[in-house]
Amino acid sequence: MNLRPYFQLCRIPNVFTAFANVLAGVVLVRGGAPIKTDWWLLAATGALYCGGMVLNDFFDREIDAVERPDRPIPSGQVSAFGAGMFGSSLLAVGVGMASWHSTRATMTAIALVVAILAYDAWLKSSRLGPVAMGSCRFLNVALGLSAAEASSLDVWWAPVLAGLFTAAITGLSQHEVGGTASDRVRPIVLALGALAGLLAFAAVRSARPGSWQVLATVAPFFTLVLIRGRQLFGPLWLSAAPPDLGRAIGGGILLMPAIDATIVAAHGSPVWALAVVVVGAPGYLLKRWYYLT
């Protein structure tokens, strides 16, 4: 059995960003290292993310038959029925894994499934598409936060920033196939710049007052976000052709662990912040063989 088409459907490189989201949430709410049962949440997000991506292609199969005929479903490598069953099963497995952790985690996973289905089946091509996809990433980080009772509102910066960043990336993705005029994406580029400022504010707000040592550990992660963000999104100011958009969207997805890590470092866990980046790193290697968007 050839598994490659199924890995393609799952967007395997992106799954590692989902792992990083949840690990960041767990570290934030635990105030440090995860406990044994928290690893169920990472397993759950892997199944939920893959299930959502498979169903994304399932619902897009008629469009892909015209725009991307080489993809697994329109090319006949995976049947539509098989993809639908595979994606639905993964969502069910994800909820089941979350249930091994706690009721709070189960309810968060169910909310995530609802958001995934709403985006994939109904909202993707609408004006609410970016909001719907942003809510999926928000809930993914929140799945990590469900590991324990949040003792501070500051831990919620991570899902909020992840959701807003994802909404902006999704706004770009609506023009990915045909491209668009650069002036139509400039507001999104400006919004991404504003998000960088909000990330800096969140990092300073989350660090203990006067804790310059903590902020020093934040600097490498925040600098990575700025440099990589400039490389990816800066060119869109002048050109929003499909290659530029594809590079920005795929690279933006892989940048998410660095955003999470910035918040984790600000909360005084630089080692775990590095772990969050490392968990997302395999996506950079796998993108050579599997598509991201």
Question: How does the average pLDDT of the chain come out, rounded?
Answer: 94
Residue type, 192: L
How high is the pLDDT of residue 111? 98
CA-nearest of 242, 280, 246 to 262 is 280
Q: Rounded to whole angstroms, how far apart are CA atoms 244 and 226?
A: 18
User: CB of 222 within 8 A of CB of 199?
Assistant: yes
Third-level CATH fold of 4-286: Tetracycline Repressor; domain 2 (1.10.357)
Task: Give yes or no for residue 291 having a pLDDT over 60.
Answer: yes
How high is the pLDDT of residue 187? 95
User: CB of 47 within 8 A of CB of 170?
Assistant: no
Measure Cα distances from 85 to 57, 116, 134 in Å: 12, 15, 25
User: CB of 95 within 8 A of CB of 31?
Assistant: no
Secondary structure, 3-state, 166-177: HHHHHHHHCCCC
What is the average per-residue pLDDT within 141-159?
94
How high is the pLDDT of residue 223? 96
How high is the pLDDT of residue 70? 93
pLDDT in tens, 180-236: 778 889 999 999 999 999 999 999 888 766 567 778 899 999 999 999 999 999 999
User: CB of 240 within 8 A of CB of 180?
Assistant: yes
How high is the pLDDT of residue 140? 98
Q: Rounded to whole angstroms, how far apart are CA atoms 252 and 254?
A: 5
Name the band, by pLDDT with cuts 50, 70 and 90, for residue 14.
very high
How high is the pLDDT of residue 48? 98
Size (the chain), residues:
293
Least confident range from 62-66, 92-96, 249-253, 259-263: namely 62-66
Least confident range from 38-47, 131-140, 194-203, 235-244: namely 235-244
pLDDT in tens, 86-118: 999 999 999 999 999 999 999 999 999 999 999
Name the band, by pLDDT with cuts 50, 70 and 90, for residue 175.
confident
Q: Which helix (H) or strand (E) is 107 found in, with range? A: helix 103-118
User: CB of 70 within 8 A of CB of 77?
Assistant: no
Spell out a b/e string for 75-100, using b for 16 or more CB atoms within 10 Å of the CB, else e.
Answer: eebbeeebbbebbbebbebbbebbbe
Task: Return the ∠ at Cα 98 (arms to 157 and 274), rounded to 5°.
Answer: 45
Q: Rounded to whole angstroms, how far apart are CA atoms 288 and 192?
A: 26
How high is the pLDDT of residue 1? 65
How high is the pLDDT of residue 74? 95
Residue type, 49: Y
Measure Cα distances from 96 to 48, 116, 119, 141, 247 in Å: 10, 16, 21, 18, 35
How high is the pLDDT of residue 209? 60
User: pTM here?
Assistant: 0.95
pLDDT in tens, 234-246: 999 998 899 999 9
CA-nearest of 24, 16, 251 to 158 is 24
Q: Rounded to whole angstroms, how far apart are CA atoms 7 and 253?
A: 17
How high is the pLDDT of residue 205? 87
More confident call, 241 vs 151? 241
